Amino acid sequence: GRARVVHVPGPRPDGPAPPLGHDACTDPRSGLPGVLLRMLDADGRELYAERRRGGRLLEPRLVPGAHTVEISACLRPRTAGRWTLGVAGFGRMSLALDGRPLLAGDFPPPTDDPAVVHVNPPAQYAGADLAVGQDALLVAR
């Protein structure tokens, strides 16, 4: 018999999705590779901002008065179709694509084990259709 093997880049089906890398997105403010990390006060005012190389952020710096951590990125899809997008952590979290909510909720930590809480926090996922050549603004809070 004959067989044809095809491959599509993506995360392993048996593990968590990889963090967003600088090769797939740009900081929406500067246009440079990476993501924009912002700390907001309770009224949504920016207290601090910096560009990071990717979406894996361990223990962002503490900013007095900070209420919300926001990570945003302009996605540059190289493959069209249904994408699985997510945010990892716990507490009140949301994920929006081009201003459309993909997920929102209060996600309590499943354990107080520091390895889970700080190194491998649980992730929440949602799907969205993306097209090649159409950048999309992804915002996680």
At 14-31, the pLDDT tens digits run: 667 778 888 889 999 999
- Domain count for the chain: 1
What is the four-CA torsion angle of 49, 53, 57, 58, rounded to 10 degrees? Answer: -110
Whether 8 maps to a domain, the answer reads no
The domain containing residue 88 runs over which residues? 25-140
pTM flag (> 0.85): yes
Whether 4 maps to a domain, the answer reads no
Instruction: Give the CATH number for residue 84.
Output: 2.60.120.380
Give the tokens for residue 55.
């979406």
C-beta separation of 17 from 123 below 8 A: yes
Whether 19 maps to a domain, the answer reads no
Alpha-carbon dihedral sign for residues 77, 103, 42, 20? negative
Reported as a single tens digit per residue, the pLDDT across 43-53 is 999 999 999 99
